[in-house]
Structure 1
Amino acid sequence: MPHWSVYTGNSEPHNGIDDLPAPPPWRAFDGEPVLPAPRDTDDRAAVSPDRAHRARTYVASPETVQLVNAALVLRRPLLVTGPPGTGKSSLAYAVARELRLGPVLRWNITSRSALSDGLYQYDPLSRLYAARRAAWRAGDTRPEGDVPGTGGPQGVPPASADVEEHLRLGPLGTALLPYGRPRVLLVDEIDKSDLDLPNDLLNVLEEGQYEIPELMRSAREFTEAGTAEVLADGTDEPVAVGRGRVRCRAFPFVVLTSNGEREFPPAFLRRCVRLRLRRPDREQLTEIVRAHLDTPAGDAEHLINRFLNRAADGELATDQLLNALYLTGVAGLDADSRDALADELMPYLSATADGDGF
Structure 2
Amino acid sequence: MTTPDWFVYRGAGEPHDGIDRLPDPPPWRDFDGGPVVGTAPPLGTESTRRLGTGGLRGIAWRPEELELINAALYLRRPLLVTGDPGSGKSTLAHALAHELGLGRVLHWPVVSRTTLRDGLYTYDAIARLQDTQMAREEGREHTEDIGAYLRLGPLGTALLPYDRPRVLLVDELDKSDIDLPNDLLNALEEGEFRITELQRVAHKQPQVRVLTDDGDRAPVHEGRVRCRAFPVVVMTSNGERDFPAPLLRRCLHLDLPSPRNDEWGAARLETMVRAHFGDSDAPAREELIRGFLESSPGSLRAADQLLNAVYLTQKAARDSAPDRQRLAELLMRPLDHGEHGHR
TM-score (normalised: structure 1): 0.85
Taking the aligned partners of 1:284 and 1:213, their CA distance within structure 2 comes to: 45
1:108-147 pair list within 5 angstroms: 108-138=109-139
Gap change, CA 1:47 and 1:343, over 3 Å in 2: closer
1:165-180 pair list within 5 angstroms: 165-180=148-163
Matching residue of 1:293 = 277
Single out whichever of 48-57 and 76-85 deviates more from structure 2. 48-57
Gap change, CA 1:357 and 1:91, over 3 Å in 2: farther
Which string of whole-angstrom CA distances, capped at 9 and with x for unpartnered residues, describes residues 142-174 of structure 1? xxxxxx79xxxxxxxxxx983222111111111
Matching residue of 1:264 = 243
Gap change, CA 1:55 and 1:253, over 3 Å in 2: farther
Matching residue of 2:305 = 320
Question: What is the number of residues matched between the two proteins?
Answer: 332
The one-letter amino acid paired with 2:193 is Y
Matching residue of 2:212 = 232
Contact 2:60 2:271 in 1 (8 A): no
Which string of whole-angstrom CA distances, capped at 9 and with x for unpartnered residues, describes residues 12-70 of structure 1? 112211001211111000001012322332xx6x7674246288137341343322211
Q: Could you tell me how far 1:183 is from its partner in structure 2?
A: 0.4
Contact 2:54 2:276 in 1 (8 A): no
Contact 1:89 1:257 in 2 (8 A): yes
User: Percent of aligned pairs with the same residue?
Assistant: 52
Contact 2:87 2:269 in 1 (8 A): no
Gap change, CA 1:254 and 1:54, over 3 Å in 2: farther
1:203 maps to which of 162, 170, 186: 186
Matching residue of 2:71 = 70
Residue aligned with 2:52, SS: helix
Contact 2:47 2:105 in 1 (8 A): no
Taking the aligned partners of 2:54 and 2:202, their CA distance within structure 1 comes to: 41
The one-letter amino acid paired with 2:108 is W
The one-letter amino acid paired with 1:56 is G
**Is 1:303 the equivalent of 2:288?**
yes
1:213 maps to which of 187, 193, 196: 196
TM-score (normalised: structure 2): 0.89
Taking the aligned partners of 1:161 and 1:299, their CA distance within structure 2 comes to: 60
Taking the aligned partners of 2:154 and 2:273, their CA distance within structure 1 comes to: 32
Taking the aligned partners of 2:298 and 2:36, their CA distance within structure 1 comes to: 53
Taking the aligned partners of 1:205 and 1:121, their CA distance within structure 2 comes to: 19
Contact 2:78 2:235 in 1 (8 A): yes
Gap change, CA 1:55 and 1:70, over 3 Å in 2: farther
Q: Could you tell me how far 1:313 is from its partner in structure 2?
A: 5.4
Contact 2:56 2:271 in 1 (8 A): no
2:326 maps to which of 311, 315, 340: 340
Contact 1:4 1:73 in 2 (8 A): no
Matching residue of 1:29 = 31
The one-letter amino acid paired with 1:251 is F
Matching residue of 1:154 = none
Contact 2:51 2:272 in 1 (8 A): no
Gap change, CA 1:311 and 1:35, over 3 Å in 2: farther
Contact 1:350 1:357 in 2 (8 A): no
1:8-23 pair list within 5 angstroms: 8-23=10-25
Taking the aligned partners of 1:220 and 1:176, their CA distance within structure 2 comes to: 23
Residue aligned with 1:57, SS: coil
Taking the aligned partners of 2:179 and 2:199, their CA distance within structure 1 comes to: 26
Q: Could you tell me how far 1:257 is from its partner in structure 2?
A: 0.8
Single out whichever of 341-350 and 24-33 deviates more from structure 2. 341-350
Residue aligned with 1:121, SS: strand
Taking the aligned partners of 2:7 and 2:105, their CA distance within structure 1 comes to: 21
Q: Gaps spanning 5+ residues in structure 1: where? A: 140-147, 150-159
Q: Gaps spanning 5+ residues in structure 2: where? A: none
Q: Could you tell me how far 1:220 is from its partner in structure 2?
A: 1.8
Residue aligned with 2:188, SS: helix
Taking the aligned partners of 2:26 and 2:69, their CA distance within structure 1 comes to: 16
Matching residue of 1:50 = 49
The one-letter amino acid paired with 1:168 is R
Gap change, CA 1:8 and 1:355, over 3 Å in 2: closer
Taking the aligned partners of 1:8 and 1:134, their CA distance within structure 2 comes to: 56
Gap change, CA 1:277 and 1:357, over 3 Å in 2: farther
**Is 1:193 the equivalent of 2:195?**
no
The one-letter amino acid paired with 1:243 is E
